[in-house]
Chains A and B, each alone.
Chain A
Amino acid sequence: MSDALISPAVGTTFWAGTIAVIGYCSRKLKEKIDDKLIPLMGVMGAFIFAAQMINFTIPGTGSSGHLGGGMILAAMLGSCPAFIVMASVLVVQALFFADGGLVALGCNIWNLGVYPCFIAYPLIYRPLVKDASSAKRIVFASVVGAVIALQLGAFSVVIQTLLSGQSELPFGSFVLAMQPIHLAIGIIEGIITAGVINFVRTARPEIIKNVILQQQLSPNISIKKIIVILGIAALLTGGIFSWFASSHPDGLEWSIKKVFGKPELADKDSSVHSAAKSVQEKTAVMPDYDFKKSDSLSESEQPGNSGADEGKSKWPAVRTGTSIAGIIGSLFVVTVVVAFGFLIRLIRKKQAESRNV
C-alpha cells in the first residue's frame, strides 16, 4: 500500500487496528517475557531485512522477487513475537526505503503481519505441521500457510485501495490482477520457508528443538483472542462487501443474496467513493480533515456545475470549463518555492565558506 492511494479514514482505521495488535502483543510478551527472546527477535528482524535484500529468479518468468518473511517469522518465533518483528521490519522499511509511507504503514503492518501471524500460523500452519517431524509435512504446511496469508494480504490491499477511492480500478479486475500473482508469490514464499526450516532441522536439529521449546515459553494466544480478531476481520470485510454490493449491483448482488438472503445490505449511495466518503465523515478521528473549501470560492468557481449536492454528486471536486487562474497561480507558487530553495542553499553555502575562511 502507498500513502498516495489511501484516504485518511482508511489509514486511520488500519492504524487503529495495528496499534491495538501491537499493544496486545507487547503486553503479552511483557507478561511472560524471557529475556532471551528480545535479542533473538532483534536479530531475526535483521535477518529478514538482510534476506529481503537478495533477489532470486522466479522460475518460468524472467523476473525476480524477494522473501516476504512473515511466514518464516511466525514459524520460528510464534504469533506475538513474529508480529512485533514483522511490524518493526516494516517500520524500518517505510522510513529507510520509503516503502509505502507513514499513513499506509498501518495498513501494511496489518496486511503483512496480522494474516501470517494470527491467521495462517495458528489456524493453518500449526495444526498441519504438528510436531515438525516430517519434512514433507513442513513443506505442505508452509506452502498452504503462506498462500493463505498472502491471498488475504492481497485482498486486503484491494479493499483498502477501493475504500480510499483514489483509484478508478473496478473491484473485479483489481482482484483478478492481485490474487493470482500473490498465489505464485505465496507458493514461492512457502517453499523457501519450508526450505529454511528443513535445512535448519537437518543441519542443526538442536536449534529447531530450541525454537519449539521457545514457542512453548512464549505466550500462546488463546482461542478467544483469535475469535475476536477474526470477528474484527469479518466485520471489516462484511462492511466492505456491503459497499461492493451496492456499487456493483449486477455482479455481486446474487452472491450477497445467497449469503444474506437479500440483494442489498444497506440503502447506500450508488458509488463506492461516496460510501467511503460518508464513512469518512462518520469515523474521522480528527474532524479537521474534513475542512471544506470556503463556499464563496468554490461557488464562484463552478458556474457550469450541475448544482448537485456535494455529498451525493459522483465527483464533487470537479470544476468544469477553464481554470487558468489555478494554473497561473500554481506556476507562480512553484517558482517561489524553487527560488526559495536556491536562496537558502546559497545562503548556507556562503555561511559555510565564511566559516572555513
Chain B
Amino acid sequence: MAFDREYFNLGHLDALSYQDTFVHRLDPRAKIITIIFFIFTVISFPKYEISGLIPLIFFPVTFFMFGDIPVLFIMKKVLIVSPFVILVGIFNPILDKREMYQIFGISLSAGWVSFFSIILKFFLAITSALLLIATTSFPRVCYGLRKLGVPQIFISQMLFLYRYMFVLADETMKIIRGREMRTFEKNKINIKAFAQMISIIFIRTLERAERIYKAMLARGFNGEINIERKYKFNSYDMLFIVFSVLSIYLARRYDLPDIIGRLIMKGIG
C-alpha cells in the first residue's frame, strides 16, 4: 500500500547517503552552494530555451555516476511529483500556437517549445535536490546549513523532525495495519475514520514527546542539539565549487549545443 511504499522510499534515499564516494566526501556546504547556484541558473533561462539547457544535464549525470546513485530510483521519484508541473505547463501548447521553428517541414509551435523547456527545467531542478540528499544525508545537510548561518532553533527542529519521522512512521504503520486487519478489503479511509486515526497518532505523539523530553533532561539537554561530526572545508571542496560554478556559468553564457552544431555543420558541408 501507499504508506509502506513511501516509508520504504524514505529509508532507501537515506541509506544511499551513507556510501563513501568522492561526491559523498565533499563538504556539505560545497554541495549546497553549488546545487543552489545550479538550480538558479537553470530557472534563469528564458522561457523558450531548450538547447542551452541541455549541457546542464552533465551536472546531475556527474552526481549520479560518481556518487553511485541508482538512476531509476531517482527518476521514479521525479515522475511521482511531476503532475502539477505538467498540468500547469500543458496549457502552453494550447494557448501559445505561434509558429516558432520549422524543422524539415514540420512546424513547432512556441507553446510546445516552452512546455519542453519547463519539463527540462523541472527535471534538472528536482533531480539535483534529490541528489543533494542522496549524496549528503539529511543531518549533514543540516550541519552545512547551520554553518551557512541558518538559526540554531530551526536546525534543531529539522534534526528532531528527521529523527522522529522514522519512529512515528513505525507507530503510524501499526495503526494502519490494525485498521486493515479489521476492515476486510475496504481500503478507502473516510474522513471521520481518518480524523480519529490521526487523533490517536497525535495523542501517542504527545505522550512520546513527554517521554523524550524527560529522557533528554536526564542527559543534560539545554535546548541545543550539538552535531559532533566536524568537517573541514579543504582545497578539494574549493576546487569543486570553482569548477562547477565556472562550467555552469559557461553553459549559461554560451549556447554550447548551438556552437557545436554550427561547427559540425561546417565540418560536414
**A interface residues with partner B (beta carbon < 8 Å):** 2-8, 11, 22-23, 25-27, 29-30, 33, 35-36, 38-47, 49-51, 53-59, 64, 67, 84-85, 87-89, 91-92, 94-103, 161, 165-170, 188, 191-192, 195-196, 199-200, 203-204, 207, 273, 286, 288-291, 293-294, 297, 301, 315-330, 332-334, 337-338, 340-341, 344-345, 348
Contacts and interface: CB of A to CB of B under 8 A. Distances in A.
Nearest to A204: B203
Given A47-B201, A330-B261, A2 B122 contact: yes
A38 B157 contact: yes
Interface residues of B, number: 128
Contacts, number: 378
A103 B40 contact: yes
A90 to B, nearest CB: 10
Contacts of A338: 61
13 contacts: A4-B43, A35-B222, A46-B164, A46-B168, A47-B205, A55-B189, A96-B14, A166-B114, A168-B92, A170-B95, A199-B196, A297-B258, A330-B257
A102 B36 contact: yes
B contact face: mostly helix, strand, loop, or mixed: helix
Given A39-B213, A325-B265, A96 B103 contact: no
A50 B165 contact: yes
A145 to B, nearest CB: 16
B201 A192 contact: no
Interface string B139-167: 00100000000111110111111111101
Contacts of B261: 324-330, 332
Given A3-B125, A168-B96, A26 B43 contact: no
B121 A3 contact: yes
Contacts of A301: 258
Contacts of B2: 53-55
Given A46-B161, A53-B2, A168 B188 contact: no
A203 B200 CA distance: 10
A54 B168 CA distance: 13
A102 B127 CA distance: 11
Contacts of B58: 337, 340
Contact of B47 (A42, A166, A329): A166
Given A92-B138, A101-B125, A337-B61, 5 more contacts: A49-B161, A57-B190, A102-B36, A199-B195, A332-B261
Contacts of A30: 151-153
Interface string B1-14: 01100110010011
Contact of B194 (A85, A161, A192, A344): A192
Contacts of A196: 195, 198-199, 202
